[in-house]
Amino acid sequence: MQLEMFERKDEKNALLRRQGYVPAIIYSKGEQNEKIYLQEHALRQILSGMKGRLATTVFTLVKGKEKIKVIVKDIQYHVATYEILHVDFLRLSKAEVEINVPIIFTGVNECAGIKLGGFLRQVIRSVKVKCLPSDIPTEFILDVSNLGVMQAKRLSDIDMPKKVKPLVNNLNEVVVIVAKAQQ
């Protein structure tokens, strides 16, 4: 995902927003923070297709010939209009990052427990991991097709790459269960 960025000097945030821009900042360990702004239309267009993968998406911010690899750390929205007010980026370096990776399910339509009247209950939606920026997984996929009623998949069932370390206390925690329907 590539976005054009512009250096922000003394421009007021409210004025930038009225002109169709979003104020942002790039945080970087050991370096000075960089104030920038982005075109709101381009940002919204990219964000509209993300659906749960924002935290694991690496963006390339471009200013002239300079390209900076970043991930989104926070987005602030207006409470009533859902207008994007500000974006915080973290510059990626060769150091490890901590990131929440979403858990996605496959085999829901074939799930034996659902066919017998149960329903899928997702308990954990993402897993916090630590890895190098080049090893960031976009998602973890769990196949639930073989689950029966009252059977579950746990964090330990996730196939994690060797270079990705989970930052959880207990890998036995339930991620998803096929629960009984209430009578």
Please tell me the CATH code under which domain 97-179 is placed.
2.170.120.20
Q: Please determine, for residue 183, whether its predicted confidence score (pLDDT) is greater than 90.
A: no
Please tell me the CATH code under which domain 2-91 is placed.
2.40.240.10
Q: Report how far apart, in Å, the C-alpha atoms of 43 and of each of 16, 47, 59, 120 are.
A: 14, 6, 11, 34
pLDDT tens-digit readout, 33-54 = 999 999 999 999 988 877 778 8
What pLDDT does 147 receive? Answer: 95
Rounded to two decimals, the pTM is: 0.77
Measured on CA atoms in the order 171, 173, 176, 179, is the torsion positive or negative? positive
pLDDT tens-digit readout, 141-180 = 999 999 999 999 999 999 999 999 999 989 999 999 999 8
- Which part of the chain is CATH 2.170.120.20? 97-179
